[in-house]
Structure 1
Amino acid sequence: MSALYFLLLATASASPVPDIQDEVQLLRERQENNNVSSLLPYSLPSDGPDVVRATDITTKQLTFTYGPPVGVGPYYPAGVLGTTYATTDGAIDNSELAAQVVIMRGDDSKARLDSAKYNGLKTLDDYTKLYDDEWQPSSQPTGQYDGILTNYTQDLLFSMERLSFNPYAVRRLNPSSDSMPFDVDDAIVTKITGQTLESLFTSGRLFYVDHTVQGRLPKRPPPQYAPACDALFYICPTSGDFLPLAIRSGVADLVYTPEDTPDDWLLAKIMFNVNDFFMAQFDHFSRNHFVAEIVYEAAVRTLSDDHPVLAVLKRLLYGAFGIRPLALVILIRPDGDIDQYFGNSGTAAAQFANETYFNGSAGALRSNYFLTNLEKRGLINSPVGPALKSFPFYEDGMPIYNAIKDFTTTFISSYYSSDAAITADKELQAWVKEANGPAGVIDFPPTNTRSDLACLLAEIARLVSFSHHAVNLNQLITVAATLPFHPTALYKPIPDAKNVTDVASYLPPLDKALGFIGVAANFARPLLANTNRSLINMFDDPIMLNRMNSATRAANEKFKSAMTARSEVVRNRKFDADGLSQGMPFVWQALDPGVAAWSLTI
């Protein structure tokens, strides 16, 4: 373990939970540098020369520079001011982590004292006992989501996980532009679906997830193993349900289907989940953290600190620069948490995150806008095939996105009287030029209208909030990393033949199981729930709002009201008469705005 990690643990075990809000307030005050202009209203640049603003920007460009990446990703802040930003953010993130480590260590100690009840994890049911009166109400006040520990053998649960807490991997196959990824025996397909594979394909009912790239990534040595799965899903012609059809393990050309033995099919789904969890976590580095960070770096260097747009970005990117150093120290480094618990190595995670960022699949900004990305993958408004019967990520994300967009639209319209004012804003256009030039932002959008700018800010807000928290934060310990269905590695070689009879023997031993639950608990942020750090309060910064105009302050109140109402809907979600919630056999509450945070501090 690194010195920093030990320091965090020592602080957590020896000190009370730090008062994060007070510490952060002091850090913010230092970062303001007692600038007199910080007392004045935010304003757009004037048409003529403004020596004060020009000097401010020039000073920032000299002292906030693009340094090399910290392990992975795009440029990282350097220079005197850049280092100040990074140090401030690091203190924020370390404080939040230290507070959570206090909680985790207490829960971990209790869980280990209760080890007798786990029965040596000999059966799948034994793994569910790892959560029986453990880790709650402290690390995870809600406990595991209803159904996730009892209904995990259901195919509908497995498939709907692709449309809820990891929605970025699945895409619909378009018969006019795609080919069949792999063959499945037509007699088996017809028995399962009532149609041939070709019929499902040509009717736009077939979906694909490809994790085969993980097969070429650096692996951990035995006893940890990672497959390289890909899988086909389909919309059932009779029920309309989204269901799994086949999983290919990447070993011996084995293709599993629901027609295999229950143990073989369950193991196939678990193998897929090993790959899917890896993809979700290290794709999110690229998709959320890297994209938002580099856009913000370009903004800091080109917008005056008196510019209202930079003020909103500062709020949204609170603590953002502290994550990459923390991830490098705790997760990615040799013998870090990835090496300890995953089948792929920390080196593999860094390589995967870099590749998905720089090839644009996760790192492109405009082409991965919320609705654009979902449409591109055929998940909404598809030109082929029927619509998805239920799409929880979209259903829960859209009300948040609409509320964010309402705020940014009002905010931008209140400062810019016309589209011409957008193009006339020399600082704003310098940001666009900087992003497309020295910063190297991938696919930064044209920003010539009020709508362009409102959309851009809404997308940054989305990246740091609900798009991030669908795959991270509290939902790791509540659903995405729960055992026995979601291990991060197998502990026996990937089988090269079917007829497995002991699925539990492929799962982590007790020490590894408890260790990774502790890692998942460290990502939870129960202390932020129902505070100013919850998503309800995304724009509710008194320091910022005091310098904003009245329309922006009113827009914040409207946003808070909408998110408070939305929180009530999500937190009170239950199973319906059919034993389903949002069409799933588990209750998903990750995007409760009263619980989820609004920032990238984890």
Structure 2
Amino acid sequence: MKPVHLLAASIATVAAVPIQPLDKRLVFYTVSNPLLQVVRSVDIAAKCLLFSYGPGTGGGPPSPAGVQGLAHVEIDKAITNAEIAAQAVIDFSDRTVANADTAKLNGLQTLDDYTKLYEGNWGSTSAPTGVSPGLLTNYTQDLSFSMQRLSTNPYAVRRLAPGEILPFIVDDLIVESLAGKDLATLLSEGRLFYADHSGLKDFETEESANYAGGCDAYFYISPANGQFLPLAIRTNYQSNLIYTPADTSDDWMLAKIMFNADDLFMAQFYHFSGSHFVSEAIFQAAVRTLSEEHPVLAILRRLMYGAFGIRPLAANVLFPVGGIIDRHFGYSGRAAEAYSTYLYESGISGAVQNNYFKTNLKRRGLIDFVGGPALTHFPFYEDALPLWNATHTFMTALVNTYYANDAAIVADNEILAWMNEANGPAEAVDFPTKATMNSRAMLIDLLTHVAHLVSTAHHVVNTNALITAGAVLPLNPGALFKPIPTAKGATTIADYLPPVDKCIAYIFNTGLFARPLIAGTDRTIVHMFDDPVMLVRMKPAISTANNVFKVTMEARSAVVKNRGFDSNGLSQGMPFVWKTLDPDVAPWSLTV
């Protein structure tokens, strides 16, 4: 295997060369117009013969087929495999060190022993920024657990609307002792939140020594101090236990771990379906309807760098019997594939317009909610919004430069054909239609969303996020390794967590998803549009917009890099410092 620095250089070289269609010519990008359409239509028709649809790899909507479609997949697989190979060099080295240093773990007899797994191992190599400071020392705090819903996995929780039927009941005396108000009052005041993983119990569980139940949980905004705190967790398994912070510390800790195992599974396959499936459906439709000289397709090609190489890897490594999912999660790989397809087709993750960044958060009552208090801190929104704003500004410059007015959008037959294709054979969900794509604002929002999906939305729960935050033990295992309790009274919580060998394998696999070699290079979000080959074919205003975007992202990176604890021992209202969305660390395109 090549040395790390040579592999890194190889990746950087590949990344610097955009994927070029076979018939690309060195001409300036132009939008469709009647004078050009006849010639462009012939090229598009020829392309459709070579780039077609095949069965969805790993579930979900169609994957590329045809001579050119399969060629795209092979090129992207080479990119994906090169990135993984480079990371594997680091990760194997870290695993070797970890295997030789197990004596310090004390057999993992206590939860604190699990934090030692990261001491001197993985923290500064496979993990680009190290495990989030505070996550290993403050993991027992309820605030650390609850604020994960607003940072490491922001996709599961929603606010319950006043008057909504309560999903389950918790004893009012217990609720009042914890929150100062009963459940109905918390609901009526718009303070009650809900995360529901109970539907997971309908999917195949792993039949080995891994266990999962499908928990759901309440969270609330404290009337006393405004903190976002956990209130109750229900197991949805046999006797259907309901745990609260009023239980013994061991029982309550076990409940939080059980919930997090479900939450981690949900996050990974929400991301798989909501980022990979959605963006691929959109892109394939664009390839088949937009000329290679269209600026919109040029931007999409940039954003979808290497994207088709990931689903084949998931189908070969994650989902098969005995694969990574079977080994580390409480649900099987086949369940993961079926669950991903369900999330996509139902629109939960697959809806395009309904899951636009702000639309999604408003729909779930996390921002701009008028029936209750605002969240005092919402780290995901705080970190994602500057990235979304900068992306929206760039896309505004792009669209307004190429389209003088809204009428020009309607006059672009290729854009309208893209709408029809996406809503037809590409099987996109909730995509704009030919009738609704009638303004520059609509196109700006759509392109901003694609960029958001392949960068911010993906990397918040995947890539570097796993080994630094979202999958960090002991609070975030993929499964329990002892049957789910049917009665309270747990004493040794470590018994429910994986043994040493499985822990090392688990961290090793989360490390394979990380991309520390990309940090600080032209593969980070800072350089999302910084493609000289593309920009030289664009109008000059787009290069200017790219420069503005880079400066904005560099400034944002400095803010995140310098983040630390305040005088109360908190960062963004959390007892851990979260830096996942540093735009000079996270990649600008999809990875595994």
Q: Same fold (TM over 0.5)?
A: yes
Matched, 1:460 2:450: yes
Structure-1 separation of matches of 2:179 and 2:162: 18
RMSD, aligned α-carbons: 1.5
Indicate which of 335, 352, 363 corresponds to 1:348.
335
Structure-1 separation of matches of 2:33 and 2:431: 25
Match of 2:167 in 1: 181
Match of 1:498 in 2: 488
> In 2, are the aligned partners of 1:17 and 1:102 still within 8 Å (CA)?
no
Q: How many residues align?
A: 588
> In 2, are the aligned partners of 1:303 and 1:427 still within 8 Å (CA)?
yes
Structure-2 separation of matches of 1:11 and 1:349: 33
Indicate which of 155, 158, 165 corresponds to 1:171.
158
Structure-2 separation of matches of 1:298 and 1:127: 47
Indicate which of 8, 12, 37 corresponds to 1:21.
12
Structure 1 residues 559 and 49: alpha-carbon distance in aligned structure 2, compared to 1, 3 A threshold: closer
Structure-2 separation of matches of 1:305 and 1:141: 37
Paired amino acid for 1:20? I
Structure-2 separation of matches of 1:18 and 1:68: 35
Matches within 5 A, 1:33-432: 33=22, 35=24, 37=25, 39-176=26-163, 178-251=164-237, 252-432=239-419
Paired amino acid for 2:538? M
> In 2, are the aligned partners of 1:227 and 1:274 still within 8 Å (CA)?
no
Paired amino acid for 1:192? L
Shift of 1:17: 5.2
Matches within 5 A, 1:534-573: 534-573=524-563
Shift of 1:27: 7.6
> In 2, are the aligned partners of 1:367 and 1:373 still within 8 Å (CA)?
yes
Structure-2 separation of matches of 1:129 and 1:48: 68
Cα deviation per residue 1:229-268 (whole Å; 9 max; x = unaligned)?
Answer: 0000111111011100000012212100000000000000
Structure-1 separation of matches of 2:33 and 2:360: 37
TM-score (norm 1): 0.96
Structure-2 separation of matches of 1:236 and 1:530: 40
Q: Percent identity?
A: 54
Cα deviation per residue 1:539-588 (whole Å; 9 max; x = unaligned)?
Answer: 00111001011111100000000000000000110000000000000000
Match of 1:7 in 2: none
Structure-2 separation of matches of 1:49 and 1:152: 61
Paired amino acid for 2:474? P
Paired amino acid for 1:214? L
Unmatched 5+ residue regions in structure 2? none
Paired amino acid for 1:544? M
Unmatched 5+ residue regions in structure 1? 1-9
> In 2, are the aligned partners of 1:11 and 1:98 still within 8 Å (CA)?
no
Shift of 1:18: 6.2
Structure-2 separation of matches of 1:332 and 1:201: 40
Q: Which runs of 4+ in 1 moved over 2 A?
A: 10-13, 15-18, 21-28, 31-35, 48-52
Structure-1 separation of matches of 2:264 and 2:546: 35
Shift of 1:438: 2.1
Paired amino acid for 2:70? T
> In 2, are the aligned partners of 1:220 and 1:343 still within 8 Å (CA)?
yes
Shift of 1:49: 5.0
> In 1, are the aligned partners of 2:463 and 2:591 still within 8 Å (CA)?
no
Indicate which of 512, 515, 525 corresponds to 2:515.
525
Matches within 5 A, 1:435-446: 435-445=422-432, 446=436
Structure-2 separation of matches of 1:16 and 1:371: 38
> In 2, are the aligned partners of 1:152 and 1:485 still within 8 Å (CA)?
yes
Structure-2 separation of matches of 1:573 and 1:531: 21
Moved more, 584-593 or 441-450: 441-450
Shift of 1:23: 3.7
Structure-2 separation of matches of 1:555 and 1:216: 48
Give SS of 2:536's match.
Answer: helix
> In 1, are the aligned partners of 2:275 and 2:453 still within 8 Å (CA)?
yes
Structure-2 separation of matches of 1:150 and 1:508: 20
Shift of 1:499: 1.1
Structure-2 separation of matches of 1:105 and 1:51: 55
Match of 1:6 in 2: none
Match of 1:512 in 2: 502
